[in-house]
Amino acid sequence: MEKVIVTCVLKSGGEYLPRHVYNLRDMCADFLPPHEFVCLTDLPQMHCQTLPLFHNWPGWWSKIELFKLKPPVLFFDLDTVILSDCSSIVSSASGKDFVILRDVYRGWANPNAMQSSMMYWEKPLNFVYDSFLESPDYCDGGDQTFLEKMFLDKLHLATFWQDITGGIVSYKANVCVHGIKPDDKIVIFHGKPRPWEQKEIAYPT
């Protein structure tokens, strides 16, 4: 498997700070196979490798710039907590064009509902970036709804993490209900609380 670019996005002006990038970087260094960690950001003088955001797209829409990167790419939202070795999770995505989470809630009714908290791709997906660049579509539901539109006629390219691996859990839907289980490796915090606003799972201060 070619060395993966592990990436995140930090857009200035929101609740996320450089320390959240560094925490994710350190967790990735501890628990992922060898990789290159890069943050897409509009902030200067970060203490990690960065690439510039070229567009002033608001909030989470800056994640669309990820799709101009050369694969293989593994993306995590900044409110992700990695608990233990994730080599098997990364290996499960090998050979897949595009891997994304099935939405924790909407996925019960629509198995193709996407949640963009954690994504991986080996095939160039520039068409996502190019389409948004040509005609920004700030649709209800955010970037993941836009991705669903982009892959509506390309579902043969998409694989869902839940179908190929275990160990990825939702804080709200899983941990708050059942607690942390021994096989839980990655905890997705979507919405409130953020990792630093709860006590069940250790998070660096």
- For 113-131, what is the mean pLDDT? 97
Backbone angles phi and psi of 89, in degrees to 5: -65, -45
Query: Which residue in 60, 71, 59 sits closest to 7, CA to CA?
Result: 71
Q: Would 205 be classed as within a structural domain?
A: no
Query: What number of CA atoms fall less than 13 Å from residue 192's CA on the CB side?
Result: 1
Check if the beta carbon of residue 49 is closer than 8 Å to that of residue 36. yes
pTM score: 0.96
Residues 6+ apart with CB under 8 A from 109: none
- Number of structural domains found in the chain: 1
Structural domain containing residue 48: 4-167
Per DSSP, 140 falls in state T
For residues 169-187, average pLDDT: 96
Q: What is the mean pLDDT of residues 103-117?
A: 93
pLDDT > 90: percent of the chain: 91
Contact criterion met (CB below 8 Å) for 167 and 88: yes
**Residue 205 in this model has a pLDDT that exceeds 80:** no
* Residue at 188 is within a domain: no
**Distance of alpha carbon 142 from alpha carbon 122, whole angstroms:** 23
Q: What is the mean pLDDT of residues 85-101?
A: 97
Domain membership of residue 179 (yes or no) is: no
Q: Is residue 70 part of a domain?
A: yes
pLDDT confidence band for 141 (50 / 70 / 90): confident
- 199 located within any domain: no
Q: What is the mean pLDDT of residues 122-145?
A: 94
Question: Could you tell me if residue 57 is inside a domain?
Answer: yes
Please check whether residue 41 is in contact with residue 73, taking contact to mean a CB–CB distance below 8 angstroms: no
pLDDT of residue 112: 95
Whether 1 has a pLDDT exceeding 70, the answer reads: no
Report if residue 66 sits inside a domain: yes
Whether 196 maps to a domain, the answer reads: no
Q: What is the pLDDT averaged over residues 104-118?
A: 93
**CATH number of the domain bearing residue 150:** 3.90.550.10
